[in-house]
Structure 1
Amino acid sequence: MLSISCKYALRAAVFLAARSRNGKRTGILEIAKGIEANEHTTAKILQLLAREGLIASAKGPTGGFYLHEESGPLYLIDIVRVVDGIGLFFECGLGLKKCSESKPCPIHFTYKAAREQLLREFSSISVQQLARDLDNGIAFLKRSS
């Protein structure tokens, strides 16, 4: 459902939320390593998120990417909207253009319920919440240590 770029963006935002406490800034190389993505892809994703105002960046020797603590929660849906758009929450599960309530595809009602639930979850979960799960050791961003 989500593109690989969007998955990396979500991981990067959670990683930054965990690292941004106390004003810490993190470089592209460290973020890429922390989310198991290549540096070039990570850079493009971070630049997009910064350009859209979801994360912040600073240049120079003490520069890097970070989240402003005072800017409030950053919800998963905000990242998905910027990277993939929100079409996945409204499109037919089989990709049919004319699927509707009155002319449903075979999975219409089941898929619609799942889409709506996912939209609710992504709209209510913040990257800051997920970063706390990382800090508490109940979640992870990499397959191996």
Structure 2
Amino acid sequence: MFSKACEYGIKASIFIAINSYENRRVSPKEISKEIDSPQAFTAKILQDLVRHNIIKSVQGAYGGFEIEKETISTIKLSQIVEAIDGNSIYNGCGLGLNICDDEHPCPVHDKFKIVRSELKNMLENTNLEQLALDIKSGASFLKIKKN
């Protein structure tokens, strides 16, 4: 459903938020390792997130990526998705057809409209804080740690 870049962007944002709660900035290397993403690809995604004011980049010896604690609860998942993938997830055809609309619907058009609407609702009503706290509490995870 999401592009690979978007998946990585969501995971990176959650990881940065978790560390920001602990007053820790994280390096691109740490992020790419945690989310299993190539480092150069991760760096590009992080630049997009910085450009869209979702995360903050701090230069220098104690630099890295962070999110101001007071803004973590205001960042919606929809902002991250739009920063990386734009709004095509809300408009695209469920079967990938170039032309698919109410006048020329694909076989799943009407059903997919409902799915897109529910997805949009979920993305607009889920914030980064909810996701980060679920991971901190152990209710969900980003990566299964191997012993």
TM-score (norm 2): 0.91
Show the counterpart of 2:76. 75
Superposed, which structure 2 residues align to 1:65-144 within 5 Å?
65-71=65-71, 72-144=73-145
| Unaligned stretches of 5+ residues in structure 1 | none
Offset at residue 23 of structure 1 (A): 2.9
SS in 1 for 2:107: coil
Show the counterpart of 2:45. 45
Alpha-carbon distance in 1 for matches of 2:54, 2:70:
13
Alpha-carbon distance in 2 for matches of 1:19, 1:61:
17
Offset at residue 22 of structure 1 (A): 4.3
40-49 or 5-14, which deviates more:
40-49
Listed one character per residue, the Cα deviations across residues 2-42 of structure 1 (whole Å, up to 9, x for unaligned) are: 11001000000011111101432111111111111121111
Length, aligned pairs only? 145
Offset at residue 116 of structure 1 (A): 0.7
Offset at residue 101 of structure 1 (A): 2.3
Offset at residue 103 of structure 1 (A): 3.2
> What's the Cα RMSD here?
1.4
TM-score (norm 1): 0.92
Alpha-carbon distance in 2 for matches of 1:74, 1:86:
16
| Unaligned stretches of 5+ residues in structure 2 | none
SS in 1 for 2:65: strand
Alpha-carbon distance in 1 for matches of 2:38, 2:96:
30
Amino acid of the structure 1 residue aligned with 2:139: I
Alpha-carbon distance in 1 for matches of 2:127, 2:41:
23
Amino acid of the structure 1 residue aligned with 2:122: E
Show the counterpart of 2:2. 2
Identity %: 37
